[in-house]
Structure 1
Amino acid sequence: MVLVVDDDIAVRSMLSLLLRQNGFEVTVVASPPEAMEHVRRYTPELILMDMNYTADTSGEEGITLLKQVKIFCPDVPVILITAWGSIHLAVRGMKAGAFDFITKPWSNETLVATVRRAVELSSNSQKSVANSSRVELNSKFHFEKIVGQSAKLMEVLNTVARVAQTDAPILITGESGTGKELIAEAIHANSRRGSESIVKVNLGGVSQSLFESEMFGHKKGAFTDAYHDRIGRFSLANGGTIFLDELGELDLSCQVKLLRVLQEQTFEVLGESRPTKVDVRIVCATNKDLSQLVANGLFREDLFYRVNLITIHLPALRERPEDIPFLAKHFAQNMQGVDGRSIELGSSAIDLLQRLPFPGNIRELKNLVERTVLVSGKSVIEDEDITRNMPSASGAVVEVDSGALLPLDEMERKMIVRAMELYSGNISKVADALGLSRAALYRRLEKYGIRFD
């Protein structure tokens, strides 16, 4: 049952009719006292409430009512109704415990989707909170790309399992290299949109001048050099999921444009006057502290609360060292086939890896294991092999067996040749495995005269 609280009889009637037409039971009341009387006797699935009930338009009545109903119904989601010009009130409400907010005039489709999402999430959270084991999760969900079974990782996977089936926007936080993109892929794969596309956008690589064209598309002739129509990323993701990585890098002027799309799921293609409607699940990621950026005036507070509906934090690798053996063996096994070798990590290698800090997290571990396998040429990797291939930037003491010394150029050439063989000449994969950019890899291929057809 949805409780609607609004002093305007026309609004109450419209919301009641709309929600009932979409399968919800609805109770309507006109004032805060009536709302409090209702929640003292019943527990609704969701509360949809206005921010103002008298001539006072400060929103304080709504904030007060929100705090009061949260005392009686702490787990019931509350959606606030506010005018677009009063979004700062909605942000205050989100801080006070509101689930989300909608703006007047609202889109019926957006409002119903927001209500449905809130009810689904509330229902999921009220189900059994017992966490599943990794075996149980693997039998029910697509988590095959995610390696490990530490308590902190299992907490993440259980959260993904609970929220994937909803359309709620999700913010994934964590240091660089912790696997945020893999979690975004898992959210998409386990959602109702799993058969559709997931479109990935690195916002740190999108310039301010090209943001609208990149995200929303443009028509031929919309601006200088617009020689052809371009389909934007949001259109490509229609029906599926859009993954916005490096959200903290987004310029303030672009944040306004993104907020409108998240709010209404509509945008205007450059060169077109009519709005385009899309059905897209939003998943964002950042390695920055967005709340601190908000405090410093570098990130919009209303956008922060719009994308921060559900937050999944990925722990750093140093916080889950028990996963390092699983990850290292996984990366080593992926390298099998080089020179016909089968690859095994010895116990001394595993012990050393678990003691390393890995400031670059899983990405650094992957590069170290793959580099060691390529350079050592051994079937069994031990700690001394790992030590030889640790980059000096890690700050570790590098102990080198003088009998195994090779000229640096020769060592580099052999490493590149082995990587090219392993990845069948796929430049992107070779560059990633060696920790190089594509341009740097091309320069080295030319330097050593390496050809791979």
Structure 2
Amino acid sequence: MDDQKNMRATTALLLSSENYDVQQAAGGEEALAKLGSSRVDLMLTDLKMEPMDGLTLLKKALEVNPRLQVIMMTAFGSIESAVEAMRQGAFDYVTKPFKEGELLYRVQRAQERAQLLATVDRLTGEFNERHGLSALVGSSPAMTELSSRLMRVAQSDATVLVQGESGTGKELVARAVHAHSRRQKLAFVPVNCAAISETLLESELFGHAKGAFTGAVRARRGLVEEAHGGTLFIDEVTETTPAFQSKLLRTLQDGEVRRVGESITQKVDVRIVAATNRDIELEVREKRFRQDLYYRLNVVTLRVPPLRERLEDVPALAEHFLKRANARSSKRKSLSTSAVEHLMGYSFPGNVRELENLVEQAAALSESDELLPEDFPLRPNRVTGGELGAPPLPLAAESGGRLPTLAESVEDAERRAIAQALERYQTDLGRVAEELAISSTTLWRKMKRLNLRPAGGEHRE
């Protein structure tokens, strides 16, 4: 855009010869009208124009199209104004008179940046579609409340603690928080503390210097630095040791990280979302989790309800998982009404993950296009000892008439569930963990805490 007809026409001719689709405007108002009525990736404009100057046009153009790339054309004596234009959002500037090659080079760079931003927008859209609120399937009151609370906290930078049983979808909730935050275009970095040995967790999260330990042949950034500007999701945070918790607390307090083997610190801007499937307040009372770290993490809590508390969501979830399975196998299987009723009569100790596995298994093994109840072999609820879909058994009062506390009841249920699974699979702890829908590391720690041992000698993973 230029108010000097000869300059405008010459520049348009040059760009057209390079196969650019060019529109011309004689002034700022005409340029804004064209921006509002058609897709424009790049605007070339003079800095000194009447009645609307280049800086005013720049501001109004970016309001119309924030992704617009703007190159300012200016005389040598106005370079200071051109630099100010770049501070206000212009991509580049070129001084007149300019060589054709110089202008074309700057236009090419601006076009590449426009294409990069379009790619970022597309990938962000795909991330939001996959991990946004639409991925939290269910319209039950519990899920409606979770979604509403999630949207409110996502807009801030507050640290979030996600609580829920194994298999409820805590990481999906964490990804949804990121997808709806101002950090959505930057990294989402997950780490599962239960899946990494204690000796490697510190190096994995904070990084290490070359030679910090045997095998550290080069310096390495940790996951905290990888998440700079974005979100770090710390899953199973209660499975960490007090020593590690102390280092994590320092990172949260100071906004900096120190690699293993280094004395200097690196500043980081990271949003923390942590998750646990354990009663973290009990862990604090039992001195297994630092109270000060708990307060740092528990700024906002999101509780993910177990599936047994929202069985009305089972039909929608089952349809969602079957649709995904059909897409992978290019089949068109459907759920019968009796199969849905069969699933809704089950208490799902493995939660949403168990339902997902059941649907995928049925879709893969059934020879019929319509899935029937017999395609969904449901296991007894070993936590309660009841039949399929039966409510939990009542808790008996202890001697003296005192009912057990909630913590005692949960521990007793864990002990009975693990003991029954151990009796079923003996030393195969991998199968035991799969049966209980927890990781092998979590299983081993629970067995140690509950003083349980596999029958039959050494275990195998």
Q: 1:201 — aligned with what? A: 191
Q: Distance in 1 between matches of 2:193 and 2:320?
A: 30
Conserved? CA contact 2:347–2:381, under 8 Å: no
Say whether residues 1:160 and 2:164 are aligned partners: no
Residue identity in the other structure for 1:312: L
Q: Distance in 2 between matches of 1:385 and 1:142?
A: 31
Residue identity in the other structure for 1:345: L
Q: 1:238 — aligned with what? A: 228
Conserved? CA contact 1:218–1:271, under 8 Å: yes
Unaligned runs of at least 5 residues, structure 2: 1-127, 389-433, 440-461
User: 223, 228, 232: which one pairs with 2:218?
Assistant: 228
Indicate how the Cα distance of structure 1 residues 352 and 282 shifts in structure 2: closer, same or farther if over 3 A, else same: same
Q: 1:390 — aligned with what? A: 378
Q: Distance in 1 between matches of 2:163 and 2:153?
A: 16
TM-score normalised by length of structure 2: 0.54
Larger Rg: 2
Deviations along 1:327-361, one digit per CA (max 9) or x if unpaired, are 00111111115765311101101111111010000
Conserved? CA contact 2:308–2:347, under 8 Å: yes
Q: Distance in 2 between matches of 1:397 and 1:311?
A: 33
Distance apart, 1:286 and its partner CA: 0.3
Indicate how the Cα distance of structure 1 residues 156 and 379 shifts in structure 2: closer, same or farther if over 3 A, else same: same
User: 350, 375, 381: which one pairs with 1:360?
Assistant: 350
Q: 1:300 — aligned with what? A: 290
Deviations along 1:129-188, one digit per CA (max 9) or x if unpaired, are xxxxxxxxx99x931211111110010000011110111000000100011000000000
Residue identity in the other structure for 2:312: E
Q: 2:169 — aligned with what? A: 179
Alignment RMSD (CA, Å): 2.5
Residue identity in the other structure for 2:310: R
Q: Distance in 1 between matches of 2:312 and 2:370?
A: 21
Q: Distance in 2 between matches of 1:267 and 1:341?
A: 49
Residue identity in the other structure for 1:365: L
Which residues in structure 2 correspond to 1:97-176 (within 5 Å)? Answer: 142-176=132-166
Indicate how the Cα distance of structure 1 residues 191 and 338 shifts in structure 2: closer, same or farther if over 3 A, else same: closer
Q: 1:255 — aligned with what? A: 245
- Match of 1:175, SS state, is coil
- Match of 1:336, SS state, is helix
Q: Distance in 2 between matches of 1:284 and 1:222?
A: 28
Deviations along 1:4-54, one digit per CA (max 9) or x if unpaired, are xxxxxxxxxxxxxxxxxxxxxxxxxxxxxxxxxxxxxxxxxxxxxxxxxxx
Q: Distance in 2 between matches of 1:246 and 1:164?
A: 21
Q: 2:28 — aligned with what? A: none
Say whether residues 1:214 and 2:207 are aligned partners: no
Residue identity in the other structure for 2:248: L
Indicate how the Cα distance of structure 1 residues 258 and 336 shifts in structure 2: closer, same or farther if over 3 A, else same: same
Residue identity in the other structure for 1:313: R
Distance apart, 1:393 and its partner CA: 7.2
User: 308, 319, 326: which one pairs with 1:329?
Assistant: 319
Conserved? CA contact 2:349–2:381, under 8 Å: no
Conserved? CA contact 1:346–1:382, under 8 Å: yes
User: 370, 384, 391: which one pairs with 1:380?
Assistant: 370
Residue identity in the other structure for 1:250: T
Which residues in structure 2 correspond to 1:390-409 (within 5 Å)? Answer: 390-391=378-379
Residue identity in the other structure for 2:378: M
Q: 2:274 — aligned with what? A: 284
Q: Distance in 2 between matches of 1:319 and 1:181?
A: 19
Distance apart, 1:211 and its partner CA: 2.6
- Match of 1:335, SS state, is helix
Q: Distance in 2 between matches of 1:285 and 1:338?
A: 30
Deviations along 1:176-231, one digit per CA (max 9) or x if unpaired, are 00110000000000000000010000011222222321111112112222112211
Indicate how the Cα distance of structure 1 residues 188 and 376 shifts in structure 2: closer, same or farther if over 3 A, else same: same
Q: Distance in 2 between matches of 1:297 and 1:227?
A: 37
Q: 1:268 — aligned with what? A: 258
Indicate how the Cα distance of structure 1 residues 225 and 203 shifts in structure 2: closer, same or farther if over 3 A, else same: same
Q: Distance in 2 between matches of 1:333 and 1:314?
A: 23
Indicate how the Cα distance of structure 1 residues 293 and 337 shifts in structure 2: closer, same or farther if over 3 A, else same: closer
Residue identity in the other structure for 2:159: P
Conserved? CA contact 1:343–1:381, under 8 Å: yes
Q: Distance in 2 between matches of 1:332 and 1:396?
A: 28
Q: 1:348 — aligned with what? A: 338
Say whether residues 1:311 and 2:301 are aligned partners: yes
Residue identity in the other structure for 2:302: I
Q: 1:422 — aligned with what? A: none
Q: Distance in 2 between matches of 1:214 and 1:246?
A: 15
- Match of 1:352, SS state, is helix
Identity %: 45
Conserved? CA contact 2:234–2:273, under 8 Å: yes
Q: Distance in 1 between matches of 2:256 and 2:438?
A: 39
Q: Distance in 2 between matches of 1:346 and 1:269?
A: 56
Indicate how the Cα distance of structure 1 residues 299 and 436 shifts in structure 2: closer, same or farther if over 3 A, else same: closer
Indicate how the Cα distance of structure 1 residues 337 and 239 shifts in structure 2: closer, same or farther if over 3 A, else same: closer
Residue identity in the other structure for 1:160: L
Indicate how the Cα distance of structure 1 residues 304 and 338 shifts in structure 2: closer, same or farther if over 3 A, else same: closer
- Match of 1:311, SS state, is strand
Q: 1:190 — aligned with what? A: 180
Conserved? CA contact 1:268–1:275, under 8 Å: yes
Indicate how the Cα distance of structure 1 residues 326 and 381 shifts in structure 2: closer, same or farther if over 3 A, else same: same
Q: Distance in 1 between matches of 2:330 and 2:300?
A: 46
Distance apart, 1:368 and its partner CA: 0.8
Q: Distance in 1 between matches of 2:153 and 2:365?
A: 43
Conserved? CA contact 1:269–1:275, under 8 Å: yes
Residue identity in the other structure for 1:293: E
Residue identity in the other structure for 2:251: V
Deviations along 1:100-138, one digit per CA (max 9) or x if unpaired, are xxxxxxxxxxxxxxxxxxxxxxxxxxxxxxxxxxxxxx9
Residue identity in the other structure for 1:271: G
Conserved? CA contact 1:390–1:396, under 8 Å: no
TM-score normalised by length of structure 1: 0.55
Q: Distance in 2 between matches of 1:363 and 1:212?
A: 29
Q: Distance in 2 between matches of 1:397 and 1:282?
A: 41
